[in-house]
A and B are shown apart, each in its own frame.
Chain A
């Protein structure tokens, strides 16, 4: 059997088609309630914990949905960590949703415009069934906002199929066999989902498109930043393979690798199919053989541990499967791992052992001989062994059998999860549209002329337009331009600079560096800072009284105490009372009378230095300079100089 060479893939010949679904969290309050969208450190003690179980529900066709059924198999208890600062009864499924968050709707509108998409005439919030516990209600709310968009790239046009506005799910923070603990902080945070049609035909272009869409999101200035705030799912298909949806690609740089490795996996599975055909393997059915007794004297820690849990050991003979389980289907990933990953996702099993990886894990050569004998293994056969509770084995057998039989057909359509190396692991079957039905607690979403006007008024500059504006008009240095043009703060920055005479560099450094530092030092929670807070601060009538060195301190104080600048300056003792300054200058002049009369106008430098040191840097140099010059002039005049 040949090994697929990852570095020599002909994407055109393979007929590679990639699409991307990007999910971006918005930096505004939750989508269906007034709670703040902020994440809480997992180690923070929750204000309340709530435990629930979900039930299987039938779809409208009266059948249990396949995804739902698989999750139901797990029969888990879901524990939800509730935080008063970002949760209310809505997230606990104890109160109907509030009307959709207008700001989030507006941002969805802006992204619609930026991707040349067209609003639907009227939309409805839908319930998408999710029964893994990540949505307390058992469904995620989602609405179709626009369709038929497109973006231009060097390599051609890429269609934006649709833009959706939906609520984020709760965050799993601990999983055990019978329980999942979720933090409710993330549940309900508005998410934009943008679906790029599978018009992309190389791994690198897939990354380029993801990058561009990410930039469009950020240009609104209303997106969350940081790990997990944007998530990409990639749809990958090749002509002879199947459509596979890969979730959890958080790192853009990894996207080309994920695409390549998924192609390799699909091609490898096709290789296996060919091989099985050659070996004349038809339908695969397994016999379960309990082999617990073979290990009564084992030294294997894994097996001993499972005995402590009262688990049994079973083996399945795989006829004509010699060397196939050890066949590498992705770099460092074998067919055996693939089967194990399906079991991991659907049962409580942590993995399997198979012949091609043994002896290992304390399982000895003698053990293997014994197993072979016990299950009557022939030369061309292989085996899988599992450790599980006796009542699980039927499910385990069924799942392995199903997966093995899929090898005879080809690549199964499914949802997979990206690993950190760029491989993919089985997650669940592709979910169909049967999982969707209307949210009964909300009315229609209208895109009124007023709404459209607001959207048009909120359109941000493009990155290119920003570059030009910042460099040429605002005269920022290129380093700051590069940072600010991609920053969430760009619209705030533009607003402040355009509406004041404050130096763009001052504003820029404050927004990009000082605020982050304040956040890092726990002086301020940036999640709580609204753009209007920043704009109001800079445009405050007393802003010019704030000593430059004390900008951050003053903002932090006025924000945390909800006071205006004048009060903050007073409380902090920064108030440059013109009378005080005037007094200080008068005293300095008085003390240096002789020198001044000697140096005349040239004594300005001396006076400035003294006054600056007297005021300890609390007063803006410009203000001092202006007043010193005036006073000096008067003094010289009064002394007839």
Chain B
């Protein structure tokens, strides 16, 4: 037997073992070595198998090495009649590359490689610049990344010749990033479109191309704001353009998992460029000069409340100097109150929240119901909360993650509680709707 090393990975090898009185020979490229198993990619049919190599195995190596292909890069053409965009690649499924040998999926595509999956783009937009501040899975992103992206977005949209920005991003926190940008830059005056994919580009059923194409078509509409542009149905027919602050990934794996919550999508965009507005586009205000505030206080937490949940968790946040808490209460915004004749049971959240508020922590109530508004009045238990200073922000309907991001931004903008709360109540970018349209709930799940 000749023992192979990791350095031999990629070489053409032949292994012969005797099994059940037969000589079994496998010839192929060595892909990996784990314990005594050699993973090889069979030369004649492309299947991967593990072959157990023991002292009686015959192994021969040939020098021929497999050449791993790289994703193709599409040269970009310029057409003066098309809108100009800045393209920002940040990672995610849309930017994955499958290692055809190991089957591993890596997030490693450069913007140029992602664009090459969708050559149609060059007939719709000019990509003036490509940026890739980092390549990360979306679950790994944090506020520093949002600040970095916001800086690039800001520097892009203040350029006169730039008509919009397209950001490719992992889908898990796609709308988090979109919402963060919405707050970290004031007066976004051009379209900033976030695009992802649920299926990787190695497959012919890759959904990211259509999302990119639809986003590209939407740029020319010059609708300011941050939007997600993802499949609108299980078919490859159209994408929904949804305000990032109202957009949520409601399904773990479907192409059309992004839905507008308490809102209508702005528009439907078809692959051929047809655009159908679902709202009155004349009501969308065009803003003047963008300002990058890039403020983020990372001492904000989301706490999910559930039956029998332990409120002592709040003490930990107080000890660690948190300045804001977003409570994900049940339905209208309840937490276990557990009132007794002489006070409250040990597991009541009320005394703990009271303590937090007395310590100048801003406590915002959101709902785990996803759809609908919170309310501080309907039940006595809600009134207890409002009385101690838990903020229902005049029956807001912000998604919990949006409230979190807005609070983190607001806490850095203002000093006094009054200023903070007042700012939280203002509908800045459509994150709080002033009314719920009949049908938007049904529409979201259609």
Which residues of A come within 8 Å of B, CB atoms? 48, 50-62, 68, 89, 92-96, 118, 120-124, 126-127, 129, 131, 136-139, 142-144, 147-148, 162, 433-440, 444
- Chain A's closest residue to B102 (CB) is A438
Residues in B neighbouring A120, C-beta threshold 8 A: 26, 49-51
Is B259's CB within 8 Å of the partner chain A?
no
A263 to B340, CA, bound (A): 93
Give the residue of A50, A56, A136, A437 whose beta carbon is less than 8 angstroms from that of B103. Answer: A437
The 9 sampled A-B contact pairs (Cβ below 8 Å) are A57-B206, A95-B252, A124-B39, A148-B22, A148-B24, A435-B46, A436-B47, A437-B46, A438-B98
Q: Shortest Cβ distance from B258 into chain A, in angstroms?
A: 13
Instruction: From the candidates B68, B199, B205, B253, name the one contacting A89 in the complex (CB within 8 A).
Output: B253
Q: Taking the complex as formed, is B70 at the interface, i.e. its CB lies under 8 A from any CB of chain A? A: yes
- Among residues of A, the one whose C-beta sits closest to the C-beta of B201 is A57
Q: Which of A51, A93, A118, A436 lies in contact with B199, CB distance below 8 A?
A: A93
- Give the residue of B24, B43, B69, B100 whose beta carbon is less than 8 angstroms from that of A438: B100
A124 and B204 in contact, given A60-B68, A94-B255, A438-B103 (Cβ under 8 angstroms): no
Q: Is the CB of A438 within 8 A of B48?
A: yes
Contact check, B205 vs A54: say whether CB atoms are below 8 A apart: yes
The segment from B156-164, B172-180, B232-240 that touches chain A is B232-240
The residue on B at minimum CB distance from A57 is B204
Report whether B203 and A57 are in contact in the complex, using a CB–CB cutoff of 8 Å. Answer: yes
Mask of B30-43 contacts with A, CB within 8 angstroms, 1/0: 00000001010011
With contact pairs A55-B206, A89-B254 given, residues A122 and B69 touching in the complex (Cβ less than 8 Å)? no
Whether the Cβ atoms of B254 and A62 lie closer than 8 Å is no
Please list the 3 inter-chain residue pairs (A to B) with the smallest Cβ-Cβ separation, ordered nearest first: A438-B103, A138-B204, A436-B46
B52 touches A136 (CB 8 A): no
B198 neighbours in A (Cβ, 8 Å): 94
Pick the residue among B49, B252, B255 that contacts A144 (CB under 8 A): B49
How far apart sit A147 and B105, CA to CA, in the bound complex (Å)?
29
| B104 at the binding interface (Cβ < 8 Å) | yes
Q: Tell me if B202 counts as interface (CB < 8 A to partner A).
A: yes
**Interface set, chain B 39-89, CB cutoff 8 A to A:** 39, 42-52, 67-72
Identify which of B51, B69, B98 contacts A440 (C-beta below 8 A).
B98
Contact A437 B202 (CB under 8 A): yes
Set of chain B residues within 8 Å of A96, measured between Cβ atoms: 253
For A436, give its contact among B45, B71, B201 (CB under 8 Å).
B45
List B189-227 residues whose CB lies under 8 Å from chain A.
198-206, 209
Contact mask B364-402 → A, CB, 8 Å, 1/0?
000000000000000000000000000000000000000
- A59 and B69 within 8 A (CB): yes
What residue of chain A has the Cβ atom nearest to residue B47's Cβ?
Answer: A144
- Complex-state Cα separation, A255 to B152, whole angstroms: 66
B20 at the interface (CB under 8 A from A): yes
Measured CB to CB, the residues of B under 8 A from A are 19-20, 22, 24, 26, 37, 39, 42-52, 67-72, 98, 100-105, 117, 198-206, 209, 234-237, 252-255
Known: A57-B201, A435-B46, A444-B50. Contact between A124 and B103, CB under 8 A?
Answer: yes
**Which of A92, A148, A434 is in CB contact (< 8 Å) with B234?**
A92
Residue of B nearest to A130 (CB): B204
A436 to chain B: closest residue by CB: B46
On chain A, the residues within 8 Å of B203 by CB distance are 57, 93, 127, 137-139
Q: Which residues of A contact B47 (CB under 8 A)?
A: 123-124, 126, 142-144, 436
Judge whether A94 and B50 touch: CB under 8 Å: no
B39 partner residues in chain A, CB cutoff 8 A: 124
CB contact between A147 and one of B24, B206, B234, B254 (< 8 Å): that residue: B24
Q: Tell me what chain B mostly uses at the interface: helix, strand, loop, or mixed.
A: loop
Given contacts A50-B234, A124-B48, contact A94 B201 (CB under 8 A): no
| Complex Cα gap A138–B202 (Å) | 9
A162 to B45 Cα, complex, angstroms: 11
Bound together, the chains give a CA A433 to CA B29 distance in angstroms of 13
Find B52's partner among A58, A61, A121, A440 (CB 8 Å cutoff). Answer: A121
* B205 pairs with A433, CB closer than 8 A: no
A147 to B22, CA, bound (A): 11
Whether B205 and A126, one on each chain, are in contact in the complex, defined by CB atoms closer than 8 angstroms, is no
Contacts A62-B70, A94-B253, A94-B254 hold; do A126 and B98 have CB atoms under 8 A apart?
A: no
A118 to B72, CA, bound (A): 40
- A62 CB contacts on chain B under 8 angstroms: 69-72
- Are A51 and B235 in contact (CB-based, < 8 A)? yes
Instruction: Please tell me if the beta carbons of A93 and B51 are within 8 angstroms of each other in the complex.
Output: no
Question: CB < 8 Å: which of B20, B37, B46, B101 contacts A122?
Answer: B37
Residue of B nearest to A438 (CB): B103
**In the complex where A148-B24, A440-B98 touch, is A122 in contact with B253 (Cβ < 8 A)?**
no
Specify which of B37, B100, B198, B209 lies most central, judged by the most chain A CB atoms within 10 Å of its CB: B100
Contacts of A136 in B (CB 8 A): 205
Most chain-A CB neighbours within 10 Å: which of B24, B43, B46, B252? B46
Residue of A nearest to B67 (CB): A61
Residues from chain B with Cβ under 8 Å of A60 in the complex: 68-69, 100
**Chain A: CB-nearest residue to B73:** A62
Q: Report the minimal beta-carbon distance from A88 to chain B, rounded to whole angstroms.
A: 12
Chain A residues lying within 8 Å of B252, measured Cβ to Cβ, are 95
Smallest distance from the beta carbon of A418 to chain B beta carbons, Å? 23
Q: Measured between C-beta atoms, what is the minimum distance from A220 to chain B in Å?
A: 20
Chain A neighbourhood of B237, CB < 8 A: 51
The smallest C-beta distance from B428 to any residue of chain A, in angstroms, reads 35
- Verify B253–A95 contact, CB threshold 8 A: yes
Q: Write out the residue numbers on chain B whose beta carbons fall within 8 Å of the beta carbon of A142.
A: 47
User: Once the chains are docked, how many angstroms separate the CA of A409 from the CA of B313?
Assistant: 79
Bound-complex Cα distance A52 to B70 (A) = 27
Contact of A54 among B19, B204, B254, B255 (CB under 8 A): B204
Shortest distance between the CB of B309 and any CB in chain A (Å): 31
**B253 and A137 contact, CB distance less than 8 A:** no
- Chain A residue numbers with a CB within 8 Å of B48 are 123-124, 126, 438
Contact A439 B205 (CB under 8 A): no
The distance from the CB of B349 to the nearest CB of chain A, in whole angstroms, is: 37
Complex alpha-carbon distance, A143 and B49, angstroms: 9
What 5 new A-B contacts, CB under 8 Å, besides A124-B39, A433-B45, A437-B100?
A54-B204, A92-B234, A144-B47, A433-B44, A436-B46
A61-B69 contact, Cβ under 8 Å, with A118-B24, A148-B22, A436-B47: yes
Find the B residue at minimum CB distance from A437.
B100
Interface contact B104-A440, CB-CB below 8 Å: yes
- Bound together, the chains give a CA A92 to CA B256 distance in angstroms of 12
* Cα distance, A89 to B67, chains bound together (Å): 36
Q: Pick the contact of A52: B24, B117, B202, B236 (CB < 8 A).
A: B236
Q: Who on chain A is nearest to B31 by CB?
A: A438
Cα A89 to Cα B71 with chains together (Å): 29
CA–CA, A641 and B178, complex, Å: 103
Q: Smallest Cβ distance from B143 to chain A, in angstroms? A: 30
What A residues does B51 contact at CB under 8 A?
A: 120-121
- B205: chain A residues within 8 A (beta carbon): 52, 54-55, 93, 136-138
Contacts of A434 in B (CB 8 A): 46
Residue of B nearest to A82 (CB): B234
Q: State the CA gap A57–B237 with chains docked (Å).
A: 20
Most buried by A among B37, B103, B205, B209: B205
Residues of A within 8 A of B105 (CB): 440
**B residues within 8 A CB of A50?**
234-235
- Best-buried of B37, B47, B100 by chain A (most CB within 10 Å): B47
- Report which residue of A51, A59, A120, A143 has the largest number of chain B beta carbons within 10 angstroms of its beta carbon: A120
Cβ B236 vs Cβ A51 within 8 A: yes
Does A58 contact B71, Cβ atoms closer than 8 Å?
Answer: yes
- Distance in angstroms from A71 CB to nearest chain B CB is 9
A440 CA to B104 CA, complexed, in Å: 6
A62-B69, A436-B47 known; A52 vs B253 contact (CB < 8 Å): no
B204 touches A439 (CB 8 A): no
Q: How far is the CB of B95 from chain A (nearest CB, A)?
A: 15
Q: Which residues of B contact A162 (CB under 8 A)?
A: 45
Closest to A71 in B: B204
Minimum Cβ distance to chain A for residue B169 (Å)? 20
User: Quick check: A52 and B235 within 8 Å, CB to CB?
Assistant: yes
